[in-house]
Amino acid sequence: QAKAMGRNAYSFFTKEMNIVMTRRFEIEGQLHGALERNEFEVYYQPQLNVKDGSIMGAEALLRWRNPMLGNVTPDEFIPIAEQTGLIVPIGKYVIEQSLSFLSEWQTASQQDYMIAVNLSPRQFRDNDLIEFIKKALSDTNINPDHLEFEITEGVLMIGKSYIDEALLELHKLGIKLSMDDFGTGYSSLSYLRQYAFDVLKIDRSFINGITLKKEDCDLVKATIAMAHSLGLVVVAEGVEMREQLTLLEDLGCDYVQGYYFSKPIPARELLEFKHTKNS
């Protein structure tokens, strides 16, 4: 009987594995050439000032629509793009698109908006990264301090000197550095100081429970105080309700981002988003 169970368990395991592997294989296959086929679009989610509700900037979030697979979420394709190295050209496309959009947005609105772009660990292994960013900035005439890169603690955990050097280079150029998803990894205060971060983004999972659980509220409160004492500004991710916004304002949070204000939207919609606010 044990033998039979073992065999069943084994065949069940391979079946599940097959589904996962097939999906992965399909995604990887379609990911090759997706750039050339123009299947990506950068969406933007506004980040707002808590004090007056004005727009401070936006985070660039990549969308992929493939004829065979339909819409694939970043949580599914970004890890595969990372593992295959395809994130290097894809990430460059995001940087290019974001800066050219920012230039258009600033001109149209006559406002000093910021753009925040996510950077994956693998992108740091690209020797050309810094030169590429410099060129993209000068091509679009964007002031480096209007560009922000969001990285997660995972990037710092790798502990490679080329990462330290790249982060230092970005800092020297005047580009802002933001710690994404704070609180989900091995958050370390020493990292924030050591790498001269400018922004701390509190992960959505803490904002979720902020009005319901005292522990979450206390944690967010302490995080904001700590970030401020280190000279960082704080962005709360995943704000979905007015009550969360009110509480975050009381706790001294600087900026907010979330479905309560807007989902990530295409460039032209963000241009209009601002327009309606002004008129």
CB of 74 to Mg ion, least distance (A): 9
Is residue 48 within 8 A of residue 254, CB to CB? The reply is: no
Contact call for residue 91 and ligand C2E (CB under 6 A)? yes
| Angle at 200 (CA atoms; ends 198, 206), nearest 5 degrees | 175
CB of 274 to ligand C2E, least distance (A): 18
β-pairing verdict for 114-118 and 255-256: unpaired
Cβ-based neighbours of 194, under 8 Å, separated by 6 or more: none
Q: How many residues bind Mg ion (CB under 5 A)?
A: 5
Is residue 73 within 8 A of residue 18, CB to CB? The reply is: no
> Considering only residues 68-87, where is the footprint of ligand C2E by CB under 6 A?
73-75, 78
Radius of gyration of the chain (CA): 21
Q: Candidates 118, 123, 244, 262: give the one binding Mg ion (CB under 5 A).
A: 118
CB of 234 to ligand C2E, least distance (A): 15
Question: Which one of Mg ion, ligand C2E, none interacts with residue 240, CB within 5 to 8 A by kind?
Answer: ligand C2E
How many residues can be counted in the chain?
279
Cβ-based neighbours of 66, under 8 Å, separated by 6 or more: 30, 34, 39, 72
Q: Candidates 170, 220, 258, 274: give the one binding ligand C2E (CB under 6 A).
A: 258
CB of 118 to ligand C2E, least distance (A): 4
**Closer of 30 and 45 to Mg ion (Cβ):** 45
Contact call for residue 95 and ligand C2E (CB under 6 A)? no
Query: What are the residues binding Mg ion (CB under 5 A)?
Result: 118, 150, 180-181, 237
